[in-house]
A and B are shown apart, each in its own frame.
Chain A
């Protein structure tokens, strides 16, 4: 199998192309500029369309238009730009269109800085725009996973007709790692989209919309969405866990932070400390199943949530545990990243 050395951003872009993405619109913002640059070069080679939009608003609405025509469409940005896209993401959710949005998170609030952060967890998992909607949220932790997870994002977006957000951060976007380029069986052609806008030849007209003016219609539509979300929560939880069997302290981290947590865990395990780890891969739906299991099998364990934020995923962990296990937190943001030594120190304090 062919291996190449590539940045996380480029892996996300190439992963999208290999997943059959044929439309990309974006706007420059650091630290994700390698994605539009890569797409500008590769999309025409792959027979797709690249547009540098005049704004984030325009880019996400172009994605709306392309998705409405039934093609796999994507945009990417970083935190401040993702805030601008929220209007469009709400409309995409409301029109039940499949699309993928990459957020290579940086420090906030406001213009913040260009350093890595995980401060957009709430925005991604709590419907960042208006209305009662959700997006699938997937968080890769390596360059390889960044490449692989885009394909999953498109598959889930198509399956459930909703937006999928890939939540990465500036560190993952910028770092280089070897990537195994997999030849994928492209299932794109087999996905039927009878609702897509193609011109009404031989059928009744299709209308792509999210507007329901008649009394009661919008409530009915919301219940359709809620039913779909319930089924996704049941079927699409994803996580990785390590050494849970004997773990007294269980670290919980996602994305880049999970890589650092894993390094700390290995050092602690080498010293004979009974430490485990849960790495949520899907952030929405949040993998509450594994946490509910802990409340039954690990009644004497302590949970340590570690984030590059001041405690956002922490809330989902607490909700999933229903106050049945003690939950501690270690977090930094604004460019600050909890280091391996800080994690080891915190764990040692908890053990003693």
Chain B
């Protein structure tokens, strides 16, 4: 019998440590599929963040580096400058990219580093137990906003993608989601675009992916997808930003 579907070579055949209904596993697979479709597995160097995806390199089958919390784009900048022939990407959560690593993100983008960024926005800190993220929605209850995020105390959800889109060094930014098969396919297309841009030396490309965290949102996996579709996309509209 002819095999017409299987695990893509860049993804190891392992069970992940992620919670049921988490989006990271899907995002990991999309990156692995794009890497294989572009034929760049032997050229790719990934930079994993601190957060739930800290051991992403255990699931991918290509060269990877860890980075300290928030510093992925500083590490990736140097890797790409030293080895311009390799394809370098970072995989970062909202706390990593938009809070503790905000400065590294802003300046790597402003230098127009020829890098690919996959930014997982689940509006919460998962690894540490569900605290407020810069992207937490107004009213959203978290471990550190027990009454819900109040803008008079905690400010507003940070739309870092829209901020970065203003910079001349940024080539491409798109926001996608994992809440339905159709949106997952669009996410994959966007990731492919972001990698292709780097291959063509076009500059800084970022895909922000809205991703479910049922555990710390307090929903079933299915309801978590519904929350993205009905609530989260209103604050973080999907589509091409730049």
- Residues of A whose CB lies within 8 Å of any CB of B are 22-23, 25, 49, 51, 53-55, 57-59, 61-66, 68-69, 71, 73, 87-88, 91, 95, 197-202, 205-211, 213
Contact = CB atoms under 8 A, between A and B. Distances in A.
Contacts of A205: 57, 60-64
A177 to B, nearest CB: 33
A209 B77 contact: no
Interface in B21-71: 41-45, 47, 54-55, 57, 60-68, 71
A55 B103 contact: yes
Contacts of B83: 69, 197-199
Contacts of B43: 199, 201
Given A22-B82, A68-B65, 4 more contacts: A58-B71, A197-B64, A205-B60, A207-B65
B82 A49 contact: yes
A79 B89 CA distance: 33
Contact of A71 (B74, B82, B103): B82
B68 A211 contact: no
A53 B74 contact: yes
23 contacts: A22-B82, A23-B82, A49-B82, A51-B77, A51-B78, A51-B81, A54-B103, A54-B104, A57-B71, A57-B104, A58-B74, A61-B78, A62-B74, A64-B71, A65-B79, A65-B82, A69-B83, A73-B78, A95-B66, A197-B63, A199-B83, A200-B63, A209-B65
Contacts of B107: 53-54, 58
Contacts of A62: 74-75, 77-78
Contacts of A49: 78, 81-82
B76 A207 contact: no
B145 interface: no
B68 A61 contact: yes
B78 A199 contact: no
Given A54-B104, A205-B62, A25 B78 contact: yes
Given A207-B64, A211-B55, A57 B74 contact: yes
Nearest to B70: A57
Of all A-B residue pairs in the complex, the 7 with the closest CB atoms, nearest first, are A65-B78, A61-B74, A65-B75, A54-B107, A61-B71, A201-B42, A62-B78
B86 interface: yes
A209 B82 contact: no
Given A58-B103, A88-B71, A199-B45, A209 B66 contact: yes
Interface string B150-184: 00000000000000000000000000000000000
Interface string B83-121: 100100000000000000001101100000000000000
Nearest to A87: B68
Choose among A55, A63, A91, A208 the residue with the greatest number of B CB atoms under 10 Å from its CB.
Answer: A208
A157 B185 CA distance: 46
Contacts of A66: 78-79, 81-82
A88 B68 contact: yes
Contacts of A68: 65, 75, 79
B238 to A, nearest CB: 30
A71 B60 CA distance: 24
A207 B63 contact: yes
Contacts of A211: 54-55, 66
Contact of A210 (B42, B66, B75, B104): B66
Contacts of B64: 197, 205, 207-208
Choose among A59, A63, A66 the residue with the greatest number of B CB atoms under 10 Å from its CB.
Answer: A66
Contact of A69 (B57, B68, B74, B82): B82
Nearest to B43: A199
Given A201-B42, A213-B55, A63 B78 contact: yes
Given A54-B104, A198-B83, A208 B66 contact: yes
B75 to A, nearest CB: 4
Nearest to B100: A57
Contacts of B81: 23, 49, 51, 66
Contact of B77 (A65, A88, A95, A201): A65
Choose among A51, A197, A209 the residue with the greatest number of B CB atoms under 10 Å from its CB.
Answer: A197
